[in-house]
Chains A and B, each alone.
Chain A
Amino acid sequence: MTISPGGVAEPEFTVVEPPRSIFRRKRFLGVFLPAGLVAVAGAIALFAGGVLALPLRDVVVVSGRLASKAEFFTDAEVRRILMAHGIQVSLDRAGSRDIAVNSIDGYDFVFPSGQPAALLIKQRLAQSGHRPAKTYKPFFSPIVLATYREYADVLAKPAAEPVATVQKAARQDTPPLYYDMPMDRFIGVIQRGTTWDRLAAPDRRLDNSNRVLAQTSDLCSSNSSATYLGLVAFVANGNVIPQTEADAVALARKIKPLLTAQGLPGDDLSRSYLAPDGQGLAPIAVIYEHQFLAHQLRALGQTGKVDDRRVLLYPAAQLQTVPEFLALTPEGERLGELITTDPHLRRRALELGFRVFEADDTLTTGQFAEFLTERHLPVPSSGIGDTETFLPSLPLLEKMITEIGEC
């Protein structure tokens, strides 16, 4: 959509023709000149900074429907860079699966958080005779179980079969931020139906009588919870991916109690987790690594210190999620191209906690590790893997989602 001059935030210099006599008066000039200069200087600064578009360039409003990756586009710095390119993004937030199963008419792009939803959308587009969406993969981020130090401590406490272990690469002088989590043990704890305050840890006790589990967003709408479902299913099935519909349904029924014990899922899980009251709202939350790292980078920027109350558990079976930006219109393609190739936007993605692809398109950690080190944030030693290796095929995953979530 193109906005003609005079539309959205379109600056326009109106030349006012005042009576000559006013301009000639010294008092007027005394007031106007300095003030006018300030105004002009300010306006130039605004244009240069990209807050306002240059007068003669059209501002294009690009509208998209997206889930957790909206956090990239709501960032003030990203908006500024895009505005400097004459792009303003209008966001409509919805869960990834929600985007995939509902109408996407009228949007320039959709940006579900993971491959399953993206695949679903591409299939729907093909069926409806829509031109194929151009796909961009600007960054990626693994699924993690975000928790609090007290909780991680209790999980890591038992000498035999601890449910969490401090990552090997951790520095000795600071409290660890990252733990590895053998999922089979964690699932065992969930299966027992025990509560946090009954978890056996010799010298510490958690003051929480809720059941031990990881909270997820709504299974019917979100990619993170669908991916977590895939992980739980894979582990509960002895590290085997279900191959037939009957297997998938049977497995779904078996693991359903593990995923529904949390009751009605809340929305905005990362916000609940990151809230000052987060430890009581979502002591273990299934979120994306970038949401945690963005918080830590913000904390470092504001206080100079890492928030060491909050830590990450990395499931031993790794969950890489590569969100796919699907452009539905030429405007969408322009935006997709920009976020994938513009060096400032790629840099900003790192600053927002995302991992970026290396020049050779591999999922290695070179730039990501370099960046975190530069910011004095420890580098997690896991987070590389391929999500498709343990997710069942799309129709089977869908079957499991609808079976468990009753969608």
Chain B
Amino acid sequence: MRTAALLVLLALLAGCVASPPEQVRLTVLADRDLADLRPLLDDLRRETGVELAMEYVDDPDVELASGRYRHDLAWPVTDRYLHLREKAEGRSNALPTSTTVMSSPLVVGVRPAAAARLGATPSWADIADRAAAGELRFGMTDPAGSGSGLAALVGVATAAAGTGGALTSEQVSCVALGGFLTGQVLRPRTSTELLAQFIARQDEVDAVVEHESTLLALNASGKLRAPLEIVYPRDGMMLSRFPLILLDPARRDGYQRATTWLQGERAQRWIMEHTSRRAADPALERPQRLRAPIGNALYFPDRQEVLDALLAAYRRLTSGGTHQVVFVLDYSASMAGPRVERLRAAFAALSGTGTGGFARFHLGETITVLRFAGTVLQQQEVTITGQSDVDSLAPVVAAAADGRGTAIWSALDQAYRSVRGDAVVVLMTDGENNAGISAAEFLGAGKRPVPTYAVALGEADPAELDGVARSTGGRVVEATEASLEAAVREIRGCR
């Protein structure tokens, strides 16, 4: 009887409060990473009547780009690629409505032993330096097939360019990613595959580049022998915002009900509790594991062609071919003193005795060093398999700068004869050509398809150098003794 009375009462109250909300079914093109939201979406349906029918795909951006989708909404990891494409196609004035629901930074999970090698608060440059030396092997999804992999690569490239601004088309052709990518031993297309491969090879792979949320879940999964330390790179990170995007404006009503509910306090708390992503609501207190400072967000490029160029660079750098750098160094007497000392210091940094960062010589690279004055003084070549190979070049640059004469173009001509396949030539000189062949003769000898980047110091003739460099696809970088190392770093990644 008591039950009957309560039922009557409940019926009465239900009549008072609300009629059941209108049922809406919205199809969603969603990133597979978001499968962990399922219980939350069940609650969403129960409470608002809005069912988000999720179709999980590995990379929603592929379908969004093709325009072949037939979904009401999209839920990718980021809307940056969509926005870039819409802008590129002249639709900047009507970007689809997008609501940030949660966020997570792309960071690095490192095995404790490897973390010790990186030191306290490492940067992407430190990671690149260790990777180039073969001391840090990591997994990262393939940027060509994964939005998060691409965002991570943009972050690393922005840090490598080091201007503090968003990456530009001009910078991207010379961004030094070779060393960093030497360490990328796992490059599957999806996050799921990356985790599976990492778990299987956790004794030999040191680190994994992923979302903070994915790494926290991995640590909690019990599948690792030791939990990973999460590194928030000092020189910045990329943040993924997991926006819910309205593709079909006719479904606005259901979309608004869903986003309002998802931005509500209970849903936001559930997201932090169960997915380890950070809440979009700034006012909510965070659980302990989500309180680590994430560092500075790097600026994201605002042009599609920057991403295209970066992907092309990535493909080239990971295609497995060997890469050769030929240094053609002026050791005439005018270089003696601070100039040659700066040159040695720059070389030492690239060799990993200082902080080489992104510019460091890396495993698999062939380095040719040619010293010249009035004639070629010395030529030595090494393919790097370990630090001892790098060290073998030290005596070459340590030699005294006391040669007579300056035969720039003869030296360059000889350097070109040592080139095999994918290569770049770096020429450093501080004087005018006064021996050997002339620039015209050098150019007249035939097509020079290997780009030459020239660092012009002191009395060098930048116009003549630039003419030759440009004809090979390179350019000239003017420098002083003080800026020599910066100039070398600037062209270190040029291909």
Q: Which residues of B contact A12 (CB under 8 A)?
A: 15-16
Q: C-beta contact mask, A261-280 vs B, less than 8 Å → 1, else 0?
A: 11111111001001111101
Asked if A407 is an interface residue, CB under 8 A from chain B, the answer is yes
Q: How far is the CA of A28 from the CA of B80 in the complex (A)?
A: 62
Q: Does B165 contact A (CB under 8 A)?
A: yes
Contact, CB under 8 Å: A94 / B97: yes
Q: Let me know if A316 is at the binding interface, CB within 8 A.
A: no
Number of interface residues of B (CB under 8 A): 58
Contact among B13, B282, B297, B301 with A271 in the assembled complex (CB-CB below 8 Å): B282
Residues of B contacting A93 in the complex (Cβ-Cβ under 8 angstroms): 97, 99
Contact digits for A8-28, partner B, Cβ 8 Å, 1 yes 0 no = 011111101010001001011
Query: Given A220-B92, A405-B92, do A280 and B296 touch, yes or no (CB 8 Å)?
Result: yes
Interface string of A165-207 (1 = CB under 8 A from B): 0000000000000000000000000000111100000000001
B87 within 8 A of A: yes
Which one of A30-38, A236-244, A323-331, A358-366 contacts B? A30-38
How many angstroms from the CA of A330 to the CA of B495 in the assembled complex?
65
Q: Are A210 and B299 interface neighbours, CB within 8 A? A: yes
**Does B256 interact with chain A (Cβ within 8 Å)?**
yes
Q: How far is the CA of A123 from the CA of B15 in the complex (A)?
A: 48
Task: Pick from A18, A92, A271: contact of B280, CB below 8 A.
Answer: A271
* A259 nearest CB across to chain B (Å): 11
A85 interface contact, C-beta 8 A: no
Shortest Cβ gap from B167 to chain A (Å): 8
B165→A39 contact, CB < 8 A: no
Are A35 and B9 interface neighbours, CB within 8 A?
yes
A280 — nearest CB in chain B belongs to which residue?
Answer: B296
B100 in contact with A267 (CB, 8 Å): yes
Contact present for A193 and B163 (CB under 8 Å): yes
User: Which of these binds chain A: B231-239, B409-417, B486-494?
Assistant: B231-239
Point out the residue from B5, B16, B278, B296 that lies within 8 Å of A210, measured CB to CB: B296
Given that A261-B166, A280-B293 are known contacts, is A102 also in contact with B11, CB under 8 Å in the complex? no
B8 close to A (CB within 8 Å)? yes
Assembly CA distance A282 to B8 (angstroms) = 55
How many chain A residues sit at the interface, stated as a range, is 35 or more
Interface string of B65-101 (1 = CB under 8 A from A): 0000000000000001001100100001111011110
A277, B294: Cβ atoms under 8 Å? yes
CB distance from B446 to the nearest CB of A (A): 41
A6, A93, A101, A194: residue with the most chain B Cβ atoms closer than 10 Å: A93
Q: Bound state CA distance, A52 and B291, in angstroms?
A: 39
The residue among A22, A28, A31 with the most chain B CB atoms within 10 A of its own CB is: A31
- Tell me, rounded to whole Å, the shortest Cβ–Cβ distance linking B442 to chain A: 36
Inter-chain CA distance A207–B232, complex, in Å, is: 13
- A91-107 near B? 1/0 per residue, CB < 8 Å: 11110011001100000
Partner of A264, one of B162, B243, B278, B300: B300
Task: Please tell me which one of the listed residues B13, B92, B295 contacts residue A280 in the complex, with CB atoms under 8 A apart.
Answer: B295
Number of A-B contacts (CB under 8 A): 154
Tell me the chain A residues, 248-297 only, with Cβ under 8 Å from chain B: 260-268, 271, 274-278, 280-283
B116 at the interface (CB under 8 A from A): no
Q: Is the CB of B6 within 8 A of A101?
A: no
**A272 to B: closest C-beta gap in Å:** 8
Q: Which residues of A sit under 8 angstroms from B84, Cβ to Cβ?
A: 264
When C-beta atoms are compared, the residue in chain B nearest to A261 turns out to be: B165
Cα distance A90–B94 in the bound complex, in angstroms: 21
Contacts of A10 in B (CB 8 A): 19
Find B16's partner among A11, A91, A208, A260 (CB 8 Å cutoff): A11
Q: Determine if B16 and A39 form an interchain contact, defined as CB atoms under 8 angstroms apart.
A: yes
Distance between Cα atoms of A298 and B284 in the complex (Å)? 12
Complex Cα gap A32–B87 (Å): 64
B8–A220 touching, CB < 8 Å: no
Do the beta carbons of A209 and B16 come within 8 Å of each other? no
Instruction: Mark contacts of A208-222 with chain B using CB atoms, 8 A cut-off: 1 yes-contact digit, 0 otherwise.
Output: 111100000010110
| Bound Cα distance A28, B256 (Å) | 44
Q: Is A406 an interface residue (CB 8 A)?
A: yes
Given A209-B296, A211-B165, verify A264-B80 contact (CB < 8 Å): yes
State in angstroms the CA–CA spacing of A65 and B83 once bound together: 21
Check B2 for interface membership: any CB of A closer than 8 A.
yes
Is B278 a contact of A277 with CB atoms below 8 Å?
A: yes
1/0 per residue, CB under 8 A from A, across B402-444: the answer is 0000000000000000000000000000000000000000000
Q: Is A246 an interface residue (CB 8 A)?
A: no
What's the Cα separation between A271 and B102 when bound, in Å? 11
A11 to B300, CA, bound (A): 50
- List A residues at the B interface (Cβ < 8 Å): 6-7, 9-14, 16, 18, 22, 25, 27-28, 31-32, 35-36, 39, 43, 52, 90-94, 97-98, 101-102, 193-196, 207-211, 218, 220-221, 260-268, 271, 274-278, 280-283, 298, 405-407
Q: Could you list 18 further interchain pairs (A-B, Cβ under 8 angstroms) beyond the known A7-B19, A39-B9, A267-B243?
A: A14-B15, A18-B8, A22-B1, A28-B5, A31-B2, A35-B9, A39-B12, A98-B93, A98-B95, A101-B93, A102-B94, A193-B165, A221-B95, A264-B84, A264-B300, A277-B293, A280-B294, A406-B92
Interface residues of B (CB under 8 A from A): 1-2, 4-6, 8-9, 11-13, 15-19, 80, 83-84, 87, 92-95, 97-100, 159, 162-167, 234-236, 239, 241, 243, 252, 256, 278, 280, 282-283, 286, 291, 293-302
The 3 A-B residue pairs whose C-beta atoms are closest, nearest first, are A263-B166, A195-B164, A211-B164
User: 13 interchain pairs (CB within 8 A)?
Assistant: A11-B16, A16-B8, A35-B5, A193-B164, A209-B162, A210-B236, A261-B165, A261-B299, A264-B83, A264-B166, A267-B100, A406-B87, A407-B92
